[in-house]
Amino acid sequence: MSLRHILTVFFKQGKDIMRNRTILIQFVLFPVLAAIMEYSVKPEELPEHFFIYMFAAMYFVMAPLTGMSAVIAEEKEKNTLRVLLMADVTPAEYLAGTGGCIFLAGMAGSCMFAVCGGFSGGKLAWFLLMMAAGTAVSLVAGAAIGVWSRNQTSAASLSVPVMMVFSFLPMLSMFNEAVGRAAKYAYSQQIYRLMAEGSSAAKGETGIVLAGNFLAVFLIFRYVCGRQQRGSKKSANR
Amino acid sequence: MVNAIELREITHYFDGKMVLDHISLNVGKGEILGLLGPSGAGKTTLIRILTGQLAQTSGTAYLSGIETGKHAGKTRRNAGGASGRAGAPLTGMMTDDCGLYERFSAYENLHLFARIYNVPRSRIEEILRAVGLWEARNTAVSKLSKGMRQRLSFARAVLAGPQILFLDEPSCGLDPQTAAEIHGLIRQQKQAGVTVFLTTHNMQEATKLCDHTALLNGGVIVEYGPPEEICRRYHHQKKLLLRLSGGENVVLPHTKEAAETVADYLRREQIDTIHSTEPDLETVFMELTGRRIDQ
Ligand SMILES: Nc1ncnc2c1ncn2[C@@H]1O[C@H](COP(=O)(O)OP(=O)(O)OP(=O)(O)O)[C@@H](O)[C@H]1O
Ligand SMILES: [Mg+2]
């Protein structure tokens, strides 16, 4: 592992994302929507910061997942990844640099949510911690999709259904009990609850669900990487 | 002396279909080898194997005496020698599809790789000037013309001073003048002691540029040698073609009687031009495979 390689990839991705509107908008749109709703709609019967938490949950699922998968898939499609790997950047260095950059972008957006909510002190730390945990799971899922896909189209068709399910679960589970029972096994639902209700909402199952979700996406990611490596040895992929 | 590139019985299958069939080939240090062949002959596949992007089904390949694939890092790095900096990559490559970052400028594309290779910034300016892109350095790649992209891709390939350069169709789709510019750049590399392995479907390019050419068809090397020598080898029907001032063509065999005839015409000042009918690579290829190379 070369730190120079990781940092080079990190800064390259940062610069590239700043110029890539389709990805950039994901990181800006949700915090802006949350701000608008938080300040303009103040329904009496909804809990405090309802829109912040709602959009934050969608955000930590969607932005890192689409960001990561789109960046990797684009580099595969345009053959730039091939050139990087030829220049002795290892796949691990590439993923570390890219993942680090998307993670940081994700946390920058999280800070915007925190500002909208006027969080401070322990509440702020807790909120950011939860966002970091959610972002990490989505990031690995996005990496798996990106590595799996040959091009941006196939990455999008894979990531859209996945993020729909996870990002809408928290909202849907409020309206439907059956959905709620299934949703509690999803990391997005657990983190949403922890965010909205605070650390006291943590139950025994919470940790298990979170660890289980992370392990699951990580294993999928490992499997996809292994398949990719075997594939390039055997030939098939271009 | 160790060959820069050595292939022994390289064979490759894609989904059960043989694409390369026991290819053996040597390229000496500082030589330009042209791999010629029609579309689908397996040129890119061979380059991908040599640059470690693809593992061959069987056979071995050596770059500067080091087996490819086995010690990935080693075959790509220089111990520091004649032409290369220590730690510089052993090989540089220009792919047929460029693989440039579209949203980055020409300069930014090279800067990225300069950081990866740990090459000083001054080298970026040097190489951008050499390929004639210094004026356009701040233009985004998406706004560059095809020839400019090819030159940028070439610049990236030579940025870190590799000893072996792989060029996949370096002048494909370029007008003659831009192609000639690229040829000039390739010759400069040769003068600097770099070994060049290039693919092309362009016969003239191969004849003008390469020390050796290998004709690849259906995964087999059907002919190999210096281009003029290949042409001479297939010079079965030795004939002279005279073009007379009247516009008439006369074909003569290489015989004593013909010499008289030619002398006659010369005395009468009737000859416009005299041509030998030795075949060009195009004709040789046609004779060997029964198909045209650009088909
Ligand atoms: N990834 C792949 N999977 C399956 N078959 C492939 C793959 N890549 C190439 N081929 C096949 O291998 C053969 C050789 O392809 P290759 O790209 O090496 O040809 P080429 O000589 O470079 O052609 P061109 O001049 O068009 O670039 C072709 O028949 C092609 O269809
Ligand atoms: Mg090709």
Instruction: Give ipTM to 2 decimals.
Output: 0.87
Alpha-helix residue ranges (DSSP H) falling in chain A: 3-18, 21-40, 50-77, 80-86, 91-117, 121-148, 152-175, 177-183, 187-197, 204-234
The pTM for the full model equals: 0.85
Which is nearest to B96 in space by CA: B31, B161, B166? B166
Around ion ligand 2, which residues have CB less than 5 A away? Answer: B 43-44
Mean pLDDT value across residues B211-235:
87
Ligand 1 pocket, residues with Cβ under 6 angstroms: A 238; B 14-15, 19, 37, 39-45, 96, 201
Which is nearest to B232 in space by CA: B268, B194, B186, B284? B284
Query: Which pairs from B85-89 meet CB under 8 Å and 24+ separation?
Result: B85/B160, B85/B161, B87/B118, B88/B117, B88/B160, B88/B161, B88/B162, B89/A87, B89/A88, B89/B117, B89/B160, B89/B162
Q: Taking CB atoms and an 8 Å limit, are B51 and A233 in contact across chains?
A: no
- B112 vs A8, A86, A234: nearest CB: A8
Q: Taking CB atoms and an 8 Å limit, are B95 and A79 in contact across chains?
A: yes
**Residue B83 · residue B161 · CB < 8 Å:** yes
A159 to chain B, closest Cα gap in Å = 24
User: In this complex, how many residue pairs, one in chain A and one in chain B, have their CB atoms less than 8 Å apart?
Assistant: 62
Predicted pLDDT of residue B87: 58
What value does the mean pLDDT of chain B take?
Answer: 85
A window 96-155, beta carbon within 8 A of B? none
What percentage of chain B has pLDDT greater than the value 90? Answer: 42
Q: One digit per residue, pLDDT tens: chain A, 238 residues?
A: 899 999 999 999 999 999 999 999 999 999 999 888 888 877 677 788 888 898 999 999 999 999 999 999 999 999 999 899 888 899 999 999 999 999 999 999 999 999 988 888 888 999 999 999 999 999 999 999 999 998 999 999 999 999 888 988 888 888 888 888 888 889 988 899 888 888 787 788 888 989 999 999 999 999 998 888 776 655 433 3
| Mutation choice for ligand 1 from B11, B23, B43, B172, CB with most ligand atoms inside 8 A | B43
Compute, in angstroms, the gap from residue B168 CA to the centroid of ligand 1. 13
Burial letters for A10-30: b for 16+ Cβ neighbours within 10 Å, e otherwise?
A: bebbebbbeebeebeebbebb
- A79 vs B12, B13, B99: nearest CB: B99
The C-alpha angle with vertex B15 and arms to B14 and B17, in degrees rounded to 5, equals: 65
The answer on pLDDT for B80 being more than 50 is no
Predicted pLDDT of residue A233: 56
Mean pLDDT value across residues B181-209:
90
Q: Which ligand is closest in space to the CA of residue A150? A: 1
Q: Which residues of B touch A82 (CB under 8 A)?
A: 53, 95, 99
**Residue B8 · residue B60 · CB < 8 Å:** yes
The answer on pLDDT for B65 being more than 80 is yes
**Residue B24 · residue B214 · CB < 8 Å:** no
Predicted pLDDT of residue B40: 87
Strand partners, B26: B6
Half-sphere exposure of B55 (CA within 13 A, CB side): 10
Estimate to the nearest angstrom the gap between the alpha carbon of A168 and the chain centroid: 14
Nearest C-alpha to atom 6 of ligand 1 is from which residue? B14
pLDDT digits (tens, 9 = 90+) for B255-283: 888 888 888 888 988 888 887 777 777 77
- A16 vs B52, B98, B101: nearest CB: B101
Task: Flag whether residue B73 sits within 8 Å of chain A, measured between CB atoms.
Answer: yes
Distances (CA, A) of A218 to A206, A230, B179: 18, 18, 48
Mean pLDDT value across residues B109-120:
94
Strand partners, B35: B199, B214
Range with top average pLDDT, B62-66, B74-78, B193-197, B275-279: B193-197
